[in-house]
Structure 1
Amino acid sequence: MNRRLALAALLALAPAAASAGSPDPAGVWMRGDGNARVRIAACGDKICATNLWIGDTSGGESVGDRLVLTLAAKDGSTLAGTAYDPQRNLTYSMQMRVESQRLHTRGCILADMLCKSVTWSRAE
């Protein structure tokens, strides 16, 4: 469950997030624990975070799993909204703070009672 929350914490964008002046999380990111590499990019009219590589699949994560994000700018560096995980049919509340080389995500379920925060590094 924690790994799912970590991925959910990464994904949460929408076309509104891509507008001028909004933080842009697009790119490839490595999860802080080193166990996942994720690409954030447009997918149709949404933004998706897709697993490119998973080191330990025992937590239920697979290459190709994705989150469909619907986020809007909250301030100059933060996006907030939801992330939908179609593999598990779960929707998470999301908050994402974008820096040039770091991404800080927080994903929550169960009326924001169960949350997970993750820091990501931009992959080279």
Structure 2
Amino acid sequence: MSARRTAAWALAAALTLLSLPTSAAQPVAGDWITEDGKAVVRIADCGASLCGRVVEFLVPPPSGPDQRDIHNPDTAKRHRKVLGLAILTGFEEDGDEWRGEIYDPKKGQTYRSLLERSAPDRLQVKGCVGPFCQTQIWRRAD
């Protein structure tokens, strides 16, 4: 094979590799049951990013379905109902995962968060403080 032909093949191979898609995050939109089985969170578009809202209680909270965000550090937000509350906010695709924030209404705390599909019906949800993360596995709602 001539040097010119070898160079042409090498160039074609390089261009093919460059045109392949890079690793992309699997879609996370849909309805997910939290690890404790108490609620369903719907992840969907919220403008330029994704968010997740509590859309159903599978186990009624202590104050019933009208449970309020009573642990929120912002006293002006403590009247908000947990049902319908966005607990996942600002999620944007970053490589093979989604990055944003997760709010825990049981503690009134917001954490840095990562979402990643671990199987077609499983969502790995991480809440992080500094380098330390706690992971939950949510399952797709039927």
TM-score w.r.t. length of structure 1: 0.64
Question: Against the structure 1 CA distance between its residues 121 and 89, is the aligned structure 2 distance closer, same or farther, given a 3 Å change threshold?
Answer: closer
The one of the two structures with greater contact order (alpha-carbon pairs below 8 A, sep at least 6) is 1
Question: Against the structure 1 CA distance between its residues 101 and 28, is the aligned structure 2 distance closer, same or farther, given a 3 Å change threshold?
Answer: same
Distance in 2 (CA, whole Å) between partners of 1:80 and 1:40 is 12
Written as runs of structure 1 = structure 2, the 5 A alignment for 1:69-108 is 69-75=90-96, 79-83=97-101, 85=103, 91-98=110-117, 99-108=119-128
**Residue type of the partner of 2:55?**
L
Q: CA deviation at 1:123?
A: 0.7
More strand by share: 1
**C-alpha RMSD of the superposition:** 2.9
The unaligned stretches of length 5 or more in structure 1 are 1-19
Question: Against the structure 1 CA distance between its residues 91 and 32, is the aligned structure 2 distance closer, same or farther, given a 3 Å change threshold?
Answer: closer
**Partner in structure 1 of residue 72 of structure 2:** none
Tell me which stretches of 4 or more aligned residues in structure 1 moved more than 3 Å.
58-61, 87-91
**Partner in structure 2 of residue 9 of structure 1:** none
The unaligned stretches of length 5 or more in structure 2 are 1-22, 70-81
Which of 36, 40, 59 matches 2:39?
36
Distance in 2 (CA, whole Å) between partners of 1:63 and 1:84 is 15
Which of 78, 84, 92 matches 1:64?
84
Distance in 2 (CA, whole Å) between partners of 1:71 and 1:56 is 31
Of the two, which has the highest radius of gyration?
Answer: 2
Sequence identity (%): 26
Aligned residues: 99
